[in-house]
A and B are shown apart, each in its own frame.
Chain A
Amino acid sequence: MDIKRVALIGNPNSGKTTLFNALTGSTQQTGNWPGVTVEKKSGKLLKYQDIEVIDLPGTYSLGEYSEDELVAKRFLLYDRPEAVIDVIDSSNLKRNLYLTMLLLEMGENVILSVNMLDAARSRNAEVDVVKLSTLLNVPAVPTIAVKGKGIAELAEQTRNHMDRKCQSFRIDYGNEIEHHLCKFERLICQNELQLDDLEPRFLAIKMLENNHSILHRLREIGLTTEQEEDLEKDRAHIEGIFKEDIESVMIEKRYGFIEGIVKQVVNKTQGMDKEVGINRKINVSDAIDAVVLHRVLALPIFLLIMFLMFQITFTVGGLFTNLFELTLGKLSSVVSALVAQPLLNSFLVEGVLGGVGSILVFIPNIFLLFFVLSILEDSGYMARGAYLMDGFMRKIGLQGKSFIPMVTGFGCSVPAVMATRTLESKADRMITMMVLPFMSCGARLPVYVLFASIFFPNQEALVVISLYVIGIVVAVLMAKIFRLTIFRGKNTPFVMELPPYRIPTLRGVMIHMWDRGGEFLKKAGTLIFAVVILIWVLSNLPYGVAYASQDSYIGRIGQALSVLFRPLGFGTWEATTALIFGIVAKEVVVAALGTVYASQGTLTEAIGLLWTPLSAYSFMLMTLLYTPCIATLAAIRKETKSIWWMFFSMGYTFAVAWLFSFVFYQIGSRLSFWLGLLG
């Protein structure tokens, strides 16, 4: 069967994701775009399995402003899908049509999904879809993706128009510009400067706009220097006439053209102040913003929401955790009773159940956190958070949009690193990526819980919170230092849409949650399992050695490196071993401790005997701050496309952690010594 491809594109917040889910159902596959880690999703059209839908990142334009834009542009330019479904939010027609113009100019076979007609209607605007279709000469289907309306029709139309030859579409740029465009079109045709099957008109526009990548490609196939100089002159001529740079002129012309279309297809019913052009009717979104973005109330509300987020994550998550723990405990006693062979028994109980089990117990937390984050994102509140926090984030050398990855960092650093791709500036992105591992991720929590419950049974919460706060403070500090040293440069622009509030659909949130939680689960399932087995094997070799004793390989490695941690208060081979394997995944610290202390009674007893409150807190500090887990490092490597940044992240976080623990332990032990003398 010949598979045909249709790309799904649209502005952020145009309902594209919902539409994608509705169109493809459960046939989705997620992966990454080549070269970048922008998520790539694709799926088969529900009724027509021979058509593959590729979900492009939400974008306002097809420039090179962010990685998302670049991915979308490259796919359209180089992979040439058979058709493009362009989702437009009909309550915000004008700006959404801008992308449509770019697509049509590119010569794409566009099928319009005129989405959210209900939202437009609630704003007293009626969109004439038939007329829009006629004016742009493309098929247009009215849809309300959240309610599943128009989806079948859209799929049908898409299939029918898969092989449509796109007719050339022209925006009239006015005599002055058209004259030059014509000239270049001729030049392209006469000199056979053909790039794939791109329209000469499109190439002419890009030439005039001084688009470097297109010019570069044209140069390769024979655009001469004289021709380019000529082009330069023409550009200067136009800029002289319009007294504006060429790109701005083109943008204005496109918007002018759109204005004309909007006038013809939108019938404003009532409540519109036509003179002013601003919809004065207070809609729901503005009413919510009046409270949520209120000068005084905004921050308390924001903090409350963050508080609730963690309450839900950890209290509700705790219920599941207890359930898992109980089940696992029962399971190990069953296994112990059934398996008599000691080595196999040890492998199953200590290795498999003990290791993987300790990951499973806090997976509910991770999923719940992603659940809440998805709600915040889908509802439109995340953008408000970025808006509210921008002032603060800028003070520490970042910007409002960094806030989202930073908050995500509390759940898991891996998706947080991935979330930095919404940042347009490379410097902002790098700083955010470098400091967000300090945000205490969910995997570190079991370590705190373990030690805090043993040594600070009455102040458990306080101890855990203190670690979270220290993580934030260190992140802020390091961000500031990075901004002043490696990633200097002025503040980057902050141009962000505040999308209208929407009620998130359960389905959308669930898909979101499974996508991200699944990412974590995969990592936990394969990597961590492998590590736990590795620990177990290293603990049992050389053959015949007592399990996880000092003579085992793991004991020897830990012993050798433990010197490093002596000034921090936990220079034992057990602690060192646990930390080494914690690099592979933070949650393994608990599992590893469990394994290495297995010969000394229960984990709680062993730790209670061998550690002091001071060394325990020092160890927690270390766990909080030191080298991110291998999955995070891998994500950093992929996002920065550099192995050196990965090594840098590994090294500098370790140094920071060591320093903090060192200072804490040294001051702490002196203080307790003097306090002891005093009292």
Chain B
Amino acid sequence: MHRLSSANQDYLETIFLLSQEIMEEVRPTDIANRLNVSKASVNQAIKALKAAGFVNNERYGPVVLTEKGRFEARRIHFLHHLIKAFMMSTLNIREEIAEKEACQIEHVIGNQTVKAIVNFMRNNNIKVHHFDLDEVHQFLFYSKRLSELKVGDQGVVKMVDAKGDLKKRIMEMGVIKGDIIEVIGVAPMGDPISLRIGDYNLSLRLAEADYVWVEVL
């Protein structure tokens, strides 16, 4: 998976939040104003995000998150609030500090810790501002790449994160958002895997299955 730098993750999250707040097209100027940085650095970040496939942006045009970008932005955003809420409620840390540090922790925290925090908070009925904790849990732990599924697992296709011909091929073969897909087997050497979608069986290599995001059922 393509890992973004902390700074670029912040940009991504900002674009996501802006697009939700202002309900119209996000322009580089908006981002620069929000983060209090120069337009030049915004443009540089956008270039990097675009190269990694997280945003679409025509020259002088608005910045638009791709499906993959929105997905990643939501993940960072969830993490941010989760950590902040945990620090405030459990560790009794002041909001300003929690906000500031959550901003940094969100980039480095691992899955294990997040899972532990989510479990702890669910068990103790601690609420996270804005979010349904179950939804966060679902999103963070049940959204997987098809390649991570085990034989017998089922999932709903969320997105096909490939590009160009490969993406077209995978989709034309019937792997479409909302479809249910089941891993029915693995070849003797561990790769490729065989899948069932609707009425037929398809085989994909792990490398291609990596592009398909599913929500585990």
Contact = CB atoms under 8 A, between A and B. Distances in A.
A247 to B, nearest CB: 6
Contacts, number: 147
Contact of A278 (B168, B172, B176, B198): B198
A123 B171 contact: no
Given A63-B168, A63-B172, A278 B189 contact: no
26 contacts: A63-B168, A92-B199, A95-B173, A95-B198, A95-B200, A240-B25, A248-B171, A255-B176, A276-B154, A278-B182, A278-B198, A289-B184, A289-B185, A295-B188, A390-B203, A391-B192, A400-B192, A491-B205, A491-B207, A493-B169, A493-B205, A495-B166, A496-B203, A497-B173, A497-B203, A499-B201
Nearest to A94: B198
A236 interface: yes
Nearest to A300: B188
A243 B160 CA distance: 13
Interface of A: 60-61, 63, 65, 91-95, 98, 123, 236, 239-240, 243-245, 247-248, 251-252, 255, 276-279, 285-286, 289, 293, 295-296, 298-299, 387-388, 390-392, 394, 400, 491, 493-500
B132 interface: no
Name the 9 nearest CB pairs between A and B, nearest first.
A391-B189, A498-B201, A95-B174, A92-B199, A240-B64, A61-B172, A494-B205, A251-B171, A255-B176
B186 interface: yes
B169 A498 contact: no
Contacts of B154: 276, 278
A244 B66 CA distance: 6
Interface string B194-208: 101011111111011
Nearest to B171: A251
A96 B169 CA distance: 14
Contacts of A285: 201
A236 B55 CA distance: 12
A124 to B, nearest CB: 11
A95 B174 CA distance: 6
A243 B67 contact: yes
Q: Name, among A123, A244, A276, the residue most crowded by chain B CB atoms within 10 Å (CB to CB).
A: A244
B51 interface: no
Nearest to A102: B172
A91 B201 CA distance: 12
Given A494-B192, A498-B203, 16 more contacts: A240-B62, A243-B65, A247-B167, A252-B176, A278-B196, A295-B185, A391-B187, A391-B188, A394-B191, A394-B205, A493-B208, A495-B208, A496-B203, A497-B202, A499-B200, A500-B200
A485 to B, nearest CB: 23
B65 A91 contact: no
Interface string B146-179: 0000000010000010010111111111101101
Nearest to A62: B172
Nearest to A386: B203
B216 to A, nearest CB: 13
B66 A236 contact: no
A495 B170 contact: yes
A94 B173 CA distance: 10
Contacts of B62: 240
